[in-house]
Amino acid sequence: MILVIPAIDLRQGKCVRLVKGEAGTEKIYSDDPTRMAIVWRGENFKALHVVDLDGAFEGRSVNFPALKAIVDAVDIPVEFGGGLRTYEMVKEAFDIGIYRAIIGTAAVEDEELLFRLLQEYGPRRIAVGIDMLDGIVQIKGWQNSGGVNAVELGKHLKNKGVARVIYTDISRDGTLKGANIEAMKEFAVTTGLRVTASGGVKSYEDLIHLQELEPYGVDSVIVGKALYENRFPCVELWRLNERVLDDLGPTRRH
């Protein structure tokens, strides 16, 4: 069964979603990302995907306090990316307690760092974020082209020991236009990597189609706006219930 992972995107301390990753398209869904993490845990999700958007734009992670509050608040694995471009930044994120670090720009511009991290933490705890627009990898908060084909980069990284990629179709991200199923399948089949799909999921039909890709290596999917905007059966009922609940259950670490 494909694993569904809620996204918490941090921007100036708030939980937001962007359209196609473009600055200025922010829609704020919560002033309290920690509360949002507890909500997702209360709904029995098994992991969280947290991105420091400020870090991605600025080139260094800046939302570590918010990240720490999230990690301390829930008892499920948290993967984290956004501005992780030095060894020290990645180590600090792991010291905070994340399960997996997502390396994006550095995977294109600083392979030495990527391979050092793979050797130290192992391929289960280091994933690469491949963010694609028209087949080409985008870096530095999706503001610049990495100048390399996404599939070719995936094959190269697989040969170098990378096991998992977060594969995002930027043209779909935050649009609710549906996941790019064919691109996800082509990437997984061609590279042989384990793939977490991301970008454009709009309804449970997308999840069913992605589930069909599990034999090819697509074993998980990150969902953001569709969850926040109640695009799934029962989600709106959960939201209504949570408005009157003070205690969301055993979601916190002890």
d(CA 196, CA 222): 7
Tokens describing residue 219: 């074993």
| 138 Cβ contact list (under 8 Å, min separation 6) | 131, 132, 144, 145, 146, 170
Q: Residue 169, SS3?
A: strand
d(CA 146, CA 240): 43
Per DSSP, 149 falls in state: E
Q: Cα(29)–Cα(42) distance, rounded to whole angstroms?
A: 17
**DSSP secondary-structure letter at 174?**
T
- Active-site residue among 31, 95, 110, 131? 131
Residue with tokens 């990316």: 81
3-class DSSP state for residue 60? coil
Q: One-letter amino acid identity for 87?
A: Y
Q: Is 246 a catalytic residue?
A: no
Contact 231, 223 (CB under 8 A): no
**Ramachandran angles phi, psi of 137, nearest 5°:** -70, 135
Does the annotation mark 9 as catalytic? yes
Q: How far apart are CA 83 and CA 10, in angstroms?
A: 12
Catalytic residues: 9, 131
